[in-house]
Structure 1
Amino acid sequence: VYRRDTNKYLVVVNASNDAKDWAWLNAVREGKVMIDAQRPWIKTFGAGVTLRNLRDAKAGADMRVDIALQGPKSRDILLSLGCDETTLKKVKALKRTELCEVVIGGFDLVVSRTGYTGEKMAFELFVHPDKAPALWDAICKVGEPLGMKACGLGARDSLRTEAGLPLYGHEMGGEDNFSVSEAGFGSYVKIYKPWFIGRSAYIEKEKARSGIVARFRFTDKGVRMAHNGDPVMDAKGKVIGKVTSCAIDKEGYLTGQAFVETRSAVVNTPISIFQGAENLSLVAPATLETGDRISLPTPAVVVSRFPIS
């Protein structure tokens, strides 16, 4: 959620939840859904707010799509498009999570210093969809000499996994309905506030919560990839959770995230993971003979949720 002005906000949602989130926001605004089980008659503050879908052609010149420009040289590449001195100072003054609205390279942009890769220097550029192809081409042209490369969803997923960032359907929400705190971001939920939608349900779930998402790293290279749902075990062989994401890191090790018992989410805790467990056939140890092979869990260790640079 970006605050563009005193009463003007920009919300960027998970693409797979676009229709669902748009429907929910409108239903709350129109008072069509219950937002407090204890007081079913109440309506939320700000019911008169104006909602606009900036992907809809009805938004006209305000339509926006997002192009992410990430990495140590991202600011240099962005400013290489050309801008006046005032804009230069605005962009250079941006701190992490801040944004400004400027014209760079002839493009009308909302520039935010945010990203989904874990990079300290990173930007998201919100541009009109009609101008997006030209902006992409311009960035590629000025970025190539500086080593910029285009990357897709797989590369982004490996970067966000290594950075300890959650993805809806993996570390948040999804079939397991992981809450914000189970995802490791409970500090962002301010329960000291007297009321917000979902407050009571959140507090009740917190009372029974016994796990949290942790980041892990396999101790050896060249091991098999772990997949969502693969069981995680402690040093005694007890199943303590399951894998939610896994990717290769910059040093060539497989790293990932897993929902585990809270007491096992401590840095340097030894764990093991049964990769591809759902495809393994059950073999009774007593039936094994010399030369038989069986799959064993692979050792890993819990590491800091967010890499320390």
Structure 2
Amino acid sequence: AVKIDNARPWARTYGYEAIIRNLRDASAGDEMRVDIALQGPKSRDILFAMGVDAETKRRIMALKRTELCDAVVGPSTGSGEPFDLIVSRTGYTGEKMAFELFVHPERAVDFWNAVLKAGEPFGVRPIGLGARDSLRTEAGLPLYGHEMGLGSGKFNERDLGVAEGGFGSYVKPYKPWFIGREAFMAREKARKGVVVRFRFTEQGVRMAHNGDPVVDKRGKVIGWVTSCSLDMEGFLTGQAYVTLANAVEGTPIFIYQGAPKEAGLAPAEMTLKDKATLPGTALVVSRFAKL
């Protein structure tokens, strides 16, 4: 039994023994693993096309989102050694069907090539961090230093925590005790805003960047952009930290893309053909993409 609540030291609970290991460390030996992500609606089909037996297929088919299993996969041609994997139905793209595949680092290159070969008929393509960042932004997923974590605060505001980032529901304050519970509860009482997803109302507008000011319809600064990218329909979609009153889906917000560092002419000083700096118009949309 262990103490679970510093405010109630007499409270006890019983847990389970667990071992936490770093499978990236060489000390893990044959159990070392690195991650290759296979994401998209045909990702499971590609995995099966690499070659799996009936039991492995059953285990992978049974995986719900965030679940994982051990699996031996490939090769479908009957030549070469199969790959010993940890298959996790997770990802950083927002796709409903997506996997992170953990393979021994010495076999990572062979596995990568095997995925590309098996996936060729399905249209698989290798992508880099830029494409992944666009996908996670459109899906509403956070990036450390942008939507939460060290360096995410702007305009002399504190760095964003889990709840400010839009993930407060993942913290269970009703539990009697966990490390950081008191700090989280105190922070929640003082929280003034939250990260939302937004979408510009017009195509072809300038890109918004991390730190660009967000104002309301009266011109009052209500927050800042955290991330932005081009979505699949050609609109700029992004995330921004805004005050709670402006976080409701459908609320119009206005973004100064590029955040000019120098003010232009005062309105009273303008003449014909002078240009004023105007913000782009966007709407708050659902916190996460509705796939």
Equivalent residue letter for 1:77: I
- Percent identity at matched positions? 64
Residue 279 of structure 1 and its aligned partner are, at CA, apart by 3.7
| Among candidates 204, 210, 213, match of residue 222 of structure 1 | 204
| Among candidates 62, 66, 76, match of residue 97 of structure 1 | 66
Equivalent residue letter for 1:159: L
What SS does the aligned partner of 1:246 have? strand
- Distance in 2 separating the partners of 1:108 and 1:115: 20
Contact 2:264–2:277 at 8 Å: present in 1 too? no
Q: Deviations over 1:246-283 (max 9, x none)?
A: 00000000000000001101111011100111444443
- Distance in 1 separating the partners of 2:201 and 2:142: 22
1:63 matches 2:66: no
1:135 matches 2:81: no
1:258 matches 2:227: no
Match of 2:187 in 1: 205
RMSD of Structure 2 on Structure 1 (CA): 2.2
Match of 1:190 in 2: 172
What SS does the aligned partner of 2:106 have? coil
Match of 1:153 in 2: 129
- Distance in 2 separating the partners of 1:120 and 1:292: 49
What SS does the aligned partner of 2:105 have? coil
Q: Deviations over 1:149-190 (max 9, x none)?
A: 110101111111111111111111122221111111111111
Contact 1:99–1:113 at 8 Å: present in 2 too? yes
Q: Deviations over 1:36-84 (max 9, x none)?
A: 9989xxxxx99x9644321111110111110000001000001111011
Higher mean C-alpha displacement, 246-255 vs 271-280: 271-280
- Distance in 2 separating the partners of 1:69 and 1:303: 28
Contact 1:230–1:278 at 8 Å: present in 2 too? no
Contact 1:101–1:111 at 8 Å: present in 2 too? yes
Gaps of 5+ in 1: 1-35, 40-44
Q: Deviations over 1:107-153 (max 9, x none)?
A: 00000111111110000001111111000000001111111111010
Contact 2:39–2:98 at 8 Å: present in 1 too? yes
- Distance in 2 separating the partners of 1:244 and 1:59: 37
| Aligned positions of 1:1-309 closer than 5 A | 50-105=19-74, 106-175=82-151, 176=153, 177-309=159-291
- Distance in 1 separating the partners of 2:262 and 2:84: 54
Gaps of 5+ in 2: 9-13, 75-81, 154-158
Query: Structure 1 residues 199, 121: CA separation in 2 closer, same or farther (over 3 Å shift)?
Result: same
- Distance in 1 separating the partners of 2:200 and 2:267: 26
- Distance in 1 separating the partners of 2:59 and 2:261: 54
- Distance in 2 separating the partners of 1:145 and 1:279: 50
Query: Structure 1 residues 280, 146: CA separation in 2 closer, same or farther (over 3 Å shift)?
Result: farther
Query: Structure 1 residues 99, 248: CA separation in 2 closer, same or farther (over 3 Å shift)?
Result: same
TM-score normalised over the length of structure 2: 0.88
What SS does the aligned partner of 1:277 have? coil
Query: Structure 1 residues 127, 161: CA separation in 2 closer, same or farther (over 3 Å shift)?
Result: same
Q: Deviations over 1:197-221 (max 9, x none)?
A: 1111111010010100000000000
- Distance in 2 separating the partners of 1:214 and 1:144: 37
- Distance in 2 separating the partners of 1:50 and 1:121: 29
- Distance in 1 separating the partners of 2:175 and 2:129: 37
Equivalent residue letter for 1:73: K
- Distance in 2 separating the partners of 1:51 and 1:94: 22
Match of 2:156 in 1: none
Contact 2:264–2:276 at 8 Å: present in 1 too? no
